[in-house]
Structure 1
Amino acid sequence: MSNHLPEEVWAGIFTRLPVKTLLQIRSVCKLFSSIISNPTFISAHIKKTINESHSHTLFLRYLIEKERQQEHYLLFTDSSDHKNSIFDEHNCRKLDFPFKTRSKCHFRIVDSCNGLICLNDDNDFDTSGIILWNPSIKRFLNLPNPRVTSRSYGSYMYVLGFGYDEKNDDYKVVRVAYKKGRSGRDLIPPEVELYSLNSRSWRSFNAGAPPYGIFGYTWLQAFVNGAVHWVGYDPCVVKGNESCGLIVAFDLSDEVFREVMLPSCLEQHAWDVYITVFWGKLAVLHYDYGAHKNFCSVWVMEEYGLADSWKKLYTVDLRGGLRNLIGFLRNDEVIGVTIRGKLLSYDLITSRINNLRLHGAVGGFHVGSYMESLVLLEAESAALARESITSGNEQEEEQATDLHAVKNRNDEFDDQEKLESFLSLRISEQNYSAYLCCGFSEQELSAKNSEEWVKELVPEANCDGWENDW
């Protein structure tokens, strides 16, 4: 009989720890590294984080007008006990951005999903320019070139989609490319290519290409309900003098295209409609410009797939200086940018405007949801931007040194002896302590119920419901 805790017990404990702590623990011994690097554990850690998180984290990208190729990424956490603005300077963490665009502009953010940010150097048409980046573990993956490029295809435009295939536990990038006809119009159907992180390759499936056009000038997508969405049009249906607008959806699990109807009043105004996500629901922004009007309406699909469930939630008056909306906050606020590049929040209930004291290039702001994860931790072709164990102060540096010392010392033993003689480590992280130790005898384990010894391992953790995990 083994004297150490089973792997599934360690995995259950580790799912409750933050990414930074897991990176430290991973360096302790081969067992811990094996557990934390396992794709099944990484998926379980993501689900646990999503289900138990009581806060919401946003990442903000902005560019300074004079340094357009220098991209700045900041993290802000919005929690229920946060009394001040989410954009308070004390609630800010800067991410190290290790990339430089080949074009003379900046990367475009396709989307963020489960800790991965999909970047596209969309002005570099001769190469793919697509990167999957996990800033919390400082790893990234350069995608290989797709089949359709300007060299192989001539003049064309394309749109990208990115999201998570829950059915197959896979992350996918879909690329929809439209060749230009002699009239300059996009030829339909397009060429479709799909990149799978599991297979590390692109594949084409032209038989399932959609009979719709997609407006590429917005470069926006929305990942909702397992599908990516773009605003497009049906060239075969004309209302008035315009093709009928609609939403083109691509299901990442079933790998099929389908259409989602816009609000009927917006079908002839699709050029002024932008796709987005409103707290997990599919939404669109409709900009209504005129001689004496400048408004943006926020529409939300309350029940996914039902055209009758579209509801106009708010209308934002842009005449006060706002140029466009770029995100939403929990407390009925939207984030917008002024025509002079100032970042503001707008209270949808009181119409109050708050200056967030950030200034940048008008087209260089992006706001998206973010969560830390371990995705790409063991990617074969991923590049490590920096050592996994990072240090921010003397205490963290000392902890990292101790962890390396333990790892080196225990390398002298075989796995079983290493586990039996393992010493207790203390890792401080986010105002709680994780006490990890091995060497419990079978009698000691049997004398304690699961809640008692889990509390001993992690004294300040909430153990409610932990028994169900093992």
Structure 2
Amino acid sequence: MEIERNLSMTKRSLLKSIVGDTSRNASIHDLSDYHIVEILVRLPVKTIVHCKFVCRDWLNLITNSHFITLQLPKSPECFMLFDKYIRDLITKPKLLRLEEIEEEHGRDILHHDPIMRLDLNRVPSFQNDRLCALGSVNGLICLICLSDSDYGRDKIHICNPITGEYMILPEQIHCKEIDTVNSYGFGVSSLSGEYKVIRIFHDNTLSRRVLHAEIYTLGTGKWRSLTLGHVTYSVYGYSGTFLNNHIHWNIHEYEDPHKKICTFDIDNETFQLFPSPPVDLEEDLWYLRMLGVLDGCLCYSCYCRTSCVVSIWVMKEYGIGNSWQKKILITESISPILHGPYDILCFPMGSFKDGRILMMSFSGKLLVYHPNTHTIEKTQFSDVNAISYRPSFVKLQNFESESVHKFPLETC
């Protein structure tokens, strides 16, 4: 009884410190906007989404820039899945689905909320093209629609599934060039807060060393050409990995075989070579490489055909070449679900509290690696693509000079 009495007194004291006089029945409506915001930012994202519909005052608070800034650092690391391109869209629709890591029966699992999804088939600009996810920054996702009928005219979308908004970037300056090979990147400046999309391309019929680039800053309404000058490498891979204010790509290096990564500085808009792991790939021309991020560190996945082994390296200190450490070795023998190089080639997506690592295979399977037993198990997800995602309420309407659209209400 004494404990219950103390708890009751504590509750009354806390309520009085917030709403003042407790001689009358206090309610949530007695709280100031400041305290309501402090409560809302600590709620799960899907609960905040529902709170937007409670009343107009709460809607105004949640869509305010102050709330958006407070909520983002508290937002959990999630994953966004979408079905890989299938021609029969009736049986395999393009769904964008939010996955969270939640604890269930003492073990972390992937949890899917059926409400937190977008049906991209309901938007005309997504219906007929293949999709490629460039990545996500602060809740904004960059998607590329690859046209089969109009080669070279890739349509770039920026969307926020949480706010239900999307926009289509204008046509690139050099989109009419033929026989070009494109690589893209998406990131945000730590200094100016500007979100930028970069496109790197080169003429596939001429020397691959002659690179061109153009950049789009959200809110400007136009692309800008960048002057790269003469380089001795070609970019390898369709999308870059954003980390520490830089976008990273694998490259083919002609003069120095030990340089296999280049970076783009979002602030200074400059390119430079970047140290790669001490992996000798020159003896095996048939290899596959992928970049990713694991626990805030850059990671490098490499498949060697001669040994049929994937090695995954992690850069413990960003930018320090000798800080690369080999973390994982994957072969077909560690799991019966792995068949061939496209299953074995994986890159880390994130980690569970117990040390297990969530991984995405090149073949479209979401896998879980157990570092203690060096084994891999499958999840319920296959034929998908996945990106790391941190939900936010950043509004696309805040970017001037952009035409912002809303997804149909029943898809949000």
Structure 1 or 2, whichever has the larger Rg, is 1
Q: Distance in 2 between matches of 1:31 and 1:210?
A: 56
- Deviation per residue, 1:263-322 (Å, 9 max, x gap): 2334646953221112221111010112xx311100011100000111101101134424
Where 2:279 maps in the other structure, the secondary structure is helix
Question: Is 2:97 the partner of 1:74?
Answer: yes
Question: Is 2:34 the partner of 1:15?
Answer: no
Residue among 295, 315, 321 paired with 1:279 = 295
Question: Is 2:390 the partner of 1:375?
Answer: no
Q: Report the alpha carbon displacement of residue 128 of structure 1 after superposing the two structures with TM.
A: 3.9
Change (3 A) 1:133 1:266: farther
Q: Distance in 1 between matches of 2:407 and 2:387?
A: 22
Where 2:83 maps in the other structure, the secondary structure is strand
Q: Distance in 1 between matches of 2:223 and 2:37?
A: 33
Give the TM-score, by structure 2 length: 0.75
Change (3 A) 1:166 1:77: same
- Deviation per residue, 1:384-428 (Å, 9 max, x gap): 1134996xxxxxxxxxxxxxxxxxxxxxxxxxxxxxxxxxxxxxx
Change (3 A) 1:5 1:350: closer
Change (3 A) 1:6 1:41: same
In the other structure, the counterpart of 2:171 is 145
Where 2:70 maps in the other structure, the secondary structure is helix
In the other structure, the counterpart of 1:83 is 106
In the other structure, the counterpart of 1:129 is 155
- Number of residue pairs aligned between Structure 1 and Structure 2: 363
Counterparts of residues 227-266 of structure 1 (less than 5 Å): 227-235=246-254, 237-239=255-257, 244-266=258-280
Kept after mapping to 2: 8 A contact 1:15/1:48: yes
In the other structure, the counterpart of 2:137 is 113
Q: Give the CA RMSD over aligned residues.
A: 3.5
In the other structure, the counterpart of 1:186 is 208
Kept after mapping to 2: 8 A contact 1:326/1:366: no
Q: Distance in 1 between matches of 2:136 and 2:159?
A: 9
Residue among 237, 240, 256 paired with 1:221 = 240
Q: Distance in 1 between matches of 2:365 and 2:31?
A: 54
Question: Is 2:197 the partner of 1:173?
Answer: yes
- Deviation per residue, 1:192-229 (Å, 9 max, x gap): 211112434322221x557253334x313211111110
- Deviation per residue, 1:135-180 (Å, 9 max, x gap): 112111111111111x2x3332121001222221222111112134
Q: Report the alpha carbon displacement of residue 81 of structure 1 after superposing the two structures with TM.
A: 6.0
- Deviation per residue, 1:17-76 (Å, 9 max, x gap): 455555565567776555443444423321233xxx4xx422222338563673233332
Q: Which amino acid aligns with 1:310?
A: W
Where 1:96 maps in the other structure, the secondary structure is strand
Kept after mapping to 2: 8 A contact 1:163/1:252: yes
- Deviation per residue, 1:415-463 (Å, 9 max, x gap): xxxxxxxxxxxxxxxxxxxxxxxxxxxxxxxxxxxxxxxxxxxxxxxxx
Question: Is 2:220 the partner of 1:199?
Answer: yes
Kept after mapping to 2: 8 A contact 1:59/1:368: yes
Change (3 A) 1:125 1:5: farther
Residue among 344, 366, 375 paired with 1:352 = 375
For structure 2, the 5+ residue unaligned runs are 1-29
Q: Report the alpha carbon displacement of residue 119 of structure 1 after superposing the two structures with TM.
A: 0.5
Where 1:284 maps in the other structure, the secondary structure is strand
Kept after mapping to 1: 8 A contact 2:250/2:290: yes
Residue among 82, 95, 98 paired with 1:61 = 82
Q: Percent identity?
A: 23
For structure 1, the 5+ residue unaligned runs are 391-470
Q: Distance in 2 between matches of 1:233 and 1:159?
A: 13
Q: Distance in 1 between matches of 2:229 and 2:126?
A: 30
Residue among 37, 48, 69 paired with 2:63 = 37
- Deviation per residue, 1:337-376 (Å, 9 max, x gap): 597x76543323213332323443xxxx322212221123
Question: Is 2:157 the partner of 1:157?
Answer: no
